[in-house]
Amino acid sequence: MILKLAAFTLGLTVATGAAAAPLHLVCLGNGSANRITSSSGSAWASNGASAWGQVIGTRDVPFDDQVNIELADDGTGQIRMPRAMLPKIRGGKDGWFEIRDVVKGQDEITGTVQVNVFNSPKLRIDRIRGHVSLSGKSGDYAGICQPFDPATVQRAF
pLDDT tens digits, one per residue of 52-72: 899 888 888 899 999 999 999
In this model, does residue 48 exceed pLDDT 50? yes
In this model, does residue 147 exceed pLDDT 90? yes
User: What average pLDDT is seen over the chain?
Assistant: 84
Q: What SS3 class is residue 12?
A: helix
Which amino acid is it at 6? A
pTM of the model: 0.74
Residue with more model confidence, 22 or 11: 22
Which amino acid is it at 157? F
In this model, does residue 150 exceed pLDDT 80? yes
- CA dist 4 and 85 (Å) reads 57
CA atoms within 13 A on the CB side of 52: 1
Which amino acid is it at 118? F
- CA dist 135 and 133 (Å) reads 7
How is the chain split into domains, by residue range?
17-42+52-147
Q: What is the mean pLDDT of residues 41-46?
A: 89
Structurally, what CATH architecture does the domain formed by 17-42+52-147 represent? Beta Barrel (2.40)
Terminal-residue alpha carbon distance, the chain: 56
Q: What is the mean pLDDT of residues 15-36?
A: 79
- CA dist 143 and 126 (Å) reads 10
pLDDT, tens digit, for every residue of 97-143?
A: 999 999 999 999 999 998 988 889 999 999 999 999 999 988 999 99
Residue with more model confidence, 1 or 102: 102
pLDDT computed for residue 70 by the predictor:
95
